[in-house]
Amino acid sequence: MYPNIPYAGLSWPITQHAGVLKAKVFDGLLNACLLCKGETVNAEKINGYLVNNGILTANVRSDSNQVDAWRDYQQILSEFGLIYSTRISKVLTFTPIAMAYLNDSLSYSELITLQLLRYQYPNGHKSQLSPSLVKSYGENFNYESFTELQAHYNIQLRPAVLIWKILYKLWESGELPVLSLDEMQRYAVRCTIMSDYLSCTESIIESRHDGQQLQMLTRARRNMADWMKLLSQTLLFNVSGDGNTIALSTYSIKERKAVDYVCNRLSDPSSFWEYKKSDYKQDWFNFYGNYDNNVEYILKESK
């Protein structure tokens, strides 16, 4: 139970390219992919489009001396469920939510808000085990994937929803509705299920009033910083210029009843994807890449 952690090395891994994510890059990657839609990926064609249109730098690889922006940045699209990972599909396959975005059913802010709210642990894309995690875990490590490890410990978490609920609870409690990167690293990352946000918020408030301070989870800082960069792209959060604090946006305050409803719905255990060992990667993209414009958890940008 909170604040105890189920295993050493607990964190929220997310794309390492959070710093380059913006609408221009997102659109450029998707438009480049349209050149190969339904076909085997042609990296040369995609790289040419990305470089010639100034979307991304060439990223010439030292081992081949070839332009390989696609190899470096394709993860951005699969991370957010826009394409099936090229590890499981050699044919470039768009998901329904990618098509909805390309057809202008969603704005960039709406898409990022939706997919970050829905982003969960465990998931079928973040499956790779890092050697440092395995080492930090200790003896008797016998999990085939990061997904399996988290499922074993019954982790069921949506970080964006969790952070919103913590900030909203701080606001309701008359506390400064801001989280620092240090507080993310000490408190938020210890949550393993959605209901932990209450104990987490209480611990944060106590620490702010000369109470006990929990130890920072050292492996988590880079991932917490990346999450804050990503959340700054949504409708719901503002992040300080130095990247050290996150707060609720004006939109979140104005539309708090609607956002609270969405966050409560996405906190319901029945709304989560469930790990099943057989074909779990394919199943994840079927789930996360799905789109229904009638679903009530889509938050619309103010016009």
CB atoms inside a 10 Å sphere around CB 74: 21
* Under 8 Å between Cβ of 235 and 251: yes
Cβ neighbors of 177 (< 8 A, separation 6 or more) are 167, 168, 170, 171, 247, 248
d(CA 233, CA 113): 8
* Under 8 Å between Cβ of 224 and 181: yes
Cβ neighbors of 166 (< 8 A, separation 6 or more) are 179, 188, 197, 200, 201, 204
pLDDT of residue 58: 63
pLDDT of residue 19: 87
pLDDT of residue 68: 73
* Tens place of pLDDT per residue across the chain (303 aa): 999 999 988 999 999 888 888 999 999 999 999 999 899 988 888 888 988 888 877 655 545 545 577 877 888 999 999 999 988 988 999 999 999 999 999 999 999 999 999 999 999 999 999 888 898 887 788 999 999 999 999 999 999 999 999 999 999 999 999 999 999 999 999 999 999 999 999 999 999 998 889 999 988 999 999 999 999 999 999 999 999 999 999 999 999 999 999 999 999 999 999 999 999 999 999 999 999 876 767 898 876
Q: Tokens for 109, please give them.
A: 């802010």
Question: What SS3 string covers 97-127?
Answer: HHHHHHCCCCCHHHHHHHHHHHCCECCCCCC
d(CA 157, CA 237): 18
pLDDT of residue 229: 96
* Under 8 Å between Cβ of 129 and 146: yes
Which pTM value belongs to this model? 0.94
Cβ neighbors of 140 (< 8 A, separation 6 or more) are none
CB atoms inside a 10 Å sphere around CB 281: 18
Give the DSSP per-residue string, the chain: -TT--SSTT------TTGGG-SHHHHHHHHHHHHTTTTSB--HHHHHHHHHHTTSS---B-TTT--B-HHHHHTHHHHHTTSB--TTT-SB--B-HHHHHHHTTSS-HHHHHHHHHHH--BS-SSS-PPPHHHHHHH-S----SSHHHHHHHTT-BB-HHHHHHHHHHHHHHTTS--EEEHHHHHHTGGG--BTTHHHHHHHHHHHHHTT---PPP-GGGHHHHHHHHHHHTTSSSEEE-TTS-EEEE-HHHHHTHHHHHHHHHHHHSGGGS----STTHHHHHHHHHT---TT-TTPPPPP-
